[in-house]
Amino acid sequence: MSETKVEFKDSKVGDWVMIYVIFAAISLTMIGLVMLFSAGVVRGAQALLTKQIIWLALSLVMGLYAAFMDLDWLRRKSWFVFALCVIALILTLVPGIGVKVNGAQRWIGLGTLRIQPSEFAKIGLVIILAAYFSNRHREIKSFLYGFLIPSAVVGLCCGLIILQPDFGTCFLCGAVAATMMFQAGTSLRWLLPVAGLAVVAFSVLVYFDPVRIRRVTSFLDVEANANDSAYQLWQGMLAFGVGGLDGVGLGMGRQQMHFLPEAHTDFIFPVIGEELGLLVTAGIVISFLVLFASVFLRLRQAPRLYEYLLAMGAILFVTLQAIINMGVVTGSLPTKGMSLPFISYGGSNLMVTFVLLGFVINVLKSMNSPELMRAREL
């Protein structure tokens, strides 16, 4: 009887977590659509909004598919999915196929449509690591199977992304992959030295890249570079200052009217701060933090390593990207091109975010199954 009560209680908790995940996704997406129209007033708002709604419809379909698909089937096809992601990353670097924008070759052009393979690589990376470690869970303490092979997989993915170059996504993929490896049981005596070497190599690449080293130096003294390399960041900070506690009103913001570049993509958060104020921006921050915390705590009861790693990697990609974006636009981190999940304009990121959240919902839903709750690997 007591066991039944515990299972019922766990099921109810899981239901509430799943409801919050869905509520947070809907709320943040709606904020994004409203602010996209406002931020795009001088950039063809109607066209941007129409494209984003089309991408949202496609993303909902893909997210629902991810939420109800057979995860064991996905586990068996993990290497195939990852191979497709690697091929797409390679094609991005091929002249005539890859599209270069602002010095970065991160997109594949399909007529008027452009997709960003580095975004979809997040899905492939989460799936392959979750499947690999669940299949090799008895050999995780082995240097070859527990560290070397998964590190090679992560290195291949991050190496192709850095060649584009896309330092922000490379860092994000590396951070999430390292966390997944640690959660799977990979020893810190292997992870920490490699992480240190990766930081050194990353720093060297930034140092010898004139554009990125200027971003770092500008970040250290924003006001002194307000009319030069820190212009975008400075305008974003001004937007937050003007907005104050309750904002100047929806559609009444001035900083995004020709002043703030990328107001509808990477820097949409300052537009929210200016027009809706600190209360709304703080609410968005809290929403992402609660999203991660609630899923993380629920996943501690995950019955199998595969489901745990799949959902953990997925929620890490969504929330860590959000934290980095908000850190950048508030001047807490050096400037890098990274969108705000659910809210920023962009089809590839929106679709990937919904697919990742679909994985999370799928795992939360499956955890309520009595049969799965008894089939513990952890």
pLDDT at res. 227:
62
**pLDDT, average across residues 308-337:** 89
Cβ distance 251 to 276 under 8 Å?
Answer: no
Bridge partners (DSSP) listed for residue 299:
none
pLDDT at res. 187:
87
Per-residue confidence at 360, pLDDT binned at 50, 70, 90?
very high
Instruction: Give the integer Cα–Cα distance in Å for 7 and 4.
Output: 5
Residue type, 168: G
Which range scores top for mean pLDDT: 41-45, 84-88, 196-200, 272-276?
Answer: 84-88
Bridge partners (DSSP) listed for residue 115:
108
Per-residue confidence at 283, pLDDT binned at 50, 70, 90?
very high
pLDDT at res. 378:
43
Q: Which residue in 125, 123, 117 sits closest to 94, CA to CA?
A: 117
CB atoms within 10 A of CB 9: 10
Instruction: Give the integer Cα–Cα distance in Å for 101 and 107.
Output: 8
Question: Which range is least confidently modeled, 140-154, 179-193, 246-260, 282-296?
Answer: 246-260
pLDDT at res. 7:
46
Q: Regarding predicted confidence, which is higher, 28 or 51?
A: 28
CA distance from start to end of the chain: 24
Residue pointed to by tokens 């809706």: 276
Per-residue confidence at 5, pLDDT binned at 50, 70, 90?
very low
Residue pointed to by tokens 């990609």: 317
pLDDT at res. 1:
38
Query: Which positions ≥6 away from 300 have C-beta within 8 Å?
Result: none
**How far out from the chain centre does Cα 229 lie?**
26
pLDDT(8) > 80: no
pLDDT(159) > 80: yes
Per-residue pLDDT reduced to its tens digit, 163-219: 888 888 888 999 999 999 999 988 888 999 988 888 888 778 777 777 677 776 666
pLDDT at res. 52:
84
Please, what is the average pLDDT of the chain?
83
Per-residue pLDDT reduced to its tens digit, 67-95: 999 999 999 999 999 999 999 999 988 88
| Distance set, CA 98 to CA 89, 116, 284, 353 (Å) | 9, 10, 34, 23
CB atoms within 10 A of CB 199: 12
Instruction: Give the integer Cα–Cα distance in Å for 251 and 249.
Output: 6
pLDDT at res. 321:
94
pLDDT(244) > 60: yes
Kindly report the pTM of this predicted structure.
0.88
Sign, CA dihedral 214-217-220-226, equals negative
Which range scores top for mean pLDDT: 104-108, 276-280, 360-364?
Answer: 360-364
Question: Which range is least confidently modeled, 48-52, 249-253, 254-258, 274-278?
Answer: 254-258
pLDDT(2) > 50: no
Instruction: Give the integer Cα–Cα distance in Å for 281 and 120.
Output: 28
Question: Which range is least confidently modeled, 241-250, 297-306, 350-359?
Answer: 241-250
pLDDT at res. 369:
63
Per-residue confidence at 262, pLDDT binned at 50, 70, 90?
low
Q: Regarding predicted confidence, which is higher, 176 or 271?
A: 176
Question: Which range is least confidently modeled, 15-29, 127-141, 320-334?
Answer: 320-334
